Structure formats: structure tokens, C-alpha cells
Amino acid sequence: MRIDGRTRLAGVVGWPVEHSLSPAMHNAAYEELDLNWVYLALPAPDQGALFRLADAARSSAFVGFNVTMPHKRAVLELCDEVAMLAQMAGAVNTVHCVEGRLVGYNTDSRGLLESLQAEAQFNAEGRRIAIIGAGGAAGAAVAGFILGKATHLSIVNRDVARAEQLMTRVEPYLRGLEVSLETIDAGAEQAVREADLVINATPLGMKVGDASPIPVEWFRPDQVVYDMVYLPTDTAFLEGARLAGARALGGLGMLVAQGALAVDIWTENPQQRAPREVMRTSAEDAISRLASDGETS
């Protein structure tokens, strides 16, 4: 890595970010692509810090930045322009800094589709999908499956009002896609059993010992089961899926893909695709270092 007067900045904005895998995988990508960029963790404990960082990013030194919890919704209002997928998702996770303007994207949506295709050869078109959760991650998933032309989406959430808010936001984009809202106590079991793909888009699983967000007895052998949680690498949700004989995938592939798609946006060069394998290897190495330090829980 070289640092000089021409080095451009990128980073991940959120709180906390000290254990983020993004600096490792982005800096590995920049080195592979011979880009004079550096990627940093940019802690923003509150919205005031977020506003200051976003304002600083309007300088020519910044190429862009990623956004993680808890600021994906708040940063949407700070952008001068917001891409359609981010509007559908109701959240921005990637910002491109263009001549003093901030352009917001949601690469989580396409990143999920890319991960499913690469790791499970799963194409969403014509498929039935159950999404557990109705927050920001679920919004990105719903936007992705609208893009991917799924046939039916079941949104399973304990808070019906929040699921209805998500439904209201995406309704103008559905184009014939059927969407049902289910609760754990009513309708969820049938929705999960009938789904080709079941996704955990809740935070349950981020802490060691967390229970599965749904009863694992609902899984069946020919399903793909995807947990958007990537740390820890194994969860009760995924363990239950494996016991049922389903294809179980953690969220690391999505993390890598959304980061790679951000690099693709920032380089503005369709011929210079971000090196997915290099980024994944760097992320896996970072996980191993965290594990050796006892920091993956």
C-alpha cells in the first residue's frame, strides 16, 4: 500500500466498526487493482458524527464510503441523489462521491443475489421466498428479489406494523409480484415450508447463543437457507437447516459481493471488476485473526 499526495480515501461509516471486515477486503482489492486508494474504519457513534463525515466526504480526497449499522437509513437523507434500489430498500449502504455530490446506492440487494447465484446456483426468478424480518436488511432483500423477478415473497415478522411499512414502500415496484405478510404465530410455518429459499434478515445470530428466529423444524431438505449474519460464521438458524438436510449458507458471500459492487461503482470502469476471490480470502483471514483474539462473538 502506498500513501502519497494522490491517495484517495474510502471507508466504512458506522458504530461500532473496530471489528469490521471491510478494511481488510477493500484494501486487498485496491492492491490487486493497483488503485492508489486506502480504506479505513470511520467510527460514527451518533448522527452528528455521521453528518460531519458525510460533509467531509464531499471533498475530492474521497472516492466513496460504505455505511453500516446504525446509519443506513439516516444517510439516505444526506445524499444528493439516491439510486432506485436504495429507494426501494429504504436504506443506503454505499455512497459514491462525485464532484462534491453524494450519490447513494444499496449494493446489499445485488450482493445477496450475486452470493446466492455464486454459492448455491440459486436464481430467484420464478421462486417462492420467505424473508424473516422487516428491518433494513429485509428491505434490501425484498428489493433484490423484486429485481430478481421472484414469484412470491412472504415477509415474516413479529411486528406487523413494521412489515406493513416495508410493504407500503415497495408496493409501487412490485409489478405483479405477490407479497404476503405473516407472523410467527399465524401463517409463517406454511410460508417457510413452501419456500424455495428462506432468509434470516434479523440480527438474531449475531451473538453466540442466539436462538433461531423461527422453529428449525419448519425447514425441509430441498430448500436453500441463507443467514445474512456473517459473524459468527455458524448460527442456530444454519445448524437447524443443516440438520433438516437443507443447503445452508452464511452471509459472508453477501458481505464480499456488496463490497465488490461498491468498488465497481467507485472505479467507474466496467472493464475493471473488483476481485471477489481476493476480497473473500482477505475477509476470511480477518475472521481468523478475530477468532484467535477471541473477538468473533
60-102 confidence digits (pLDDT tens): 999 999 999 999 999 999 999 999 999 999 999 999 999 999 9
Does residue 141 share a domain with residue 84? Answer: no
- pLDDT averaged over the chain? 96
**Beta carbons within 8 Å of 224's beta carbon, 6+ residues apart:** 116, 120, 122, 196, 197, 198, 246, 247, 249
φ/ψ (deg, to 5) at 25: -75, -35
Which amino acid appears at position 22 of this protein?
S
Provide the number of structural domains found in the chain: 2
CATH number of domain containing 175: 3.40.50.720
H/E element, 180: strand 178-182
Does residue 233 share a domain with residue 120? Answer: yes
Calculate mean pLDDT across residues 203-208.
93
Residue at which a domain ends, from 217, 235, 250: 250
Residue 259 lies in a domain: yes
Does residue 223 share a domain with residue 118? Answer: yes
- Kindly state the cell numbers that stand for 21: 471486515
Does residue 200 share a domain with residue 167? Answer: yes
Q: Are 115 and 140 in contact (CB under 8 A)?
A: no
Residue 297 lies in a domain: no
- Kindly state the cell numbers that stand for 89: 430498500
Does residue 166 share a domain with residue 41? Answer: no
Going by their DSSP bridges, the two strands 94-98 and 101-105 should be labelled as: antiparallel
**Beta carbons within 8 Å of 53's beta carbon, 6+ residues apart:** 13, 42, 44, 65
Active site residues: 72
β-partners of residue 101 are 98
Alpha-carbon distances, residue 93 vs 110, 114, 228, 249, 269 (angstroms):
12, 16, 15, 22, 20
Does residue 89 share a domain with residue 64? Answer: yes
Residue 164 lies in a domain: yes
User: What whole-number distance in Å separates Cα of residue 156 and Cα of residue 185?
Assistant: 10
pLDDT in the model for residue 297? 44
- Kindly state the cell numbers that stand for 7: 491517495
Residue 3 lies in a domain: no
**Residues making up the chain, counted from first to last:** 297
The range of the structural domain enclosing residue 82 comes to 8-105+254-292
pLDDT in the model for residue 268? 96
- Kindly state the cell numbers that stand for 39: 480504506
Residue 1 lies in a domain: no
pLDDT band at 291 (very low <50, low <70, confident <90, very high): confident
pLDDT(277) > 70: yes
Does residue 119 share a domain with residue 91? Answer: no
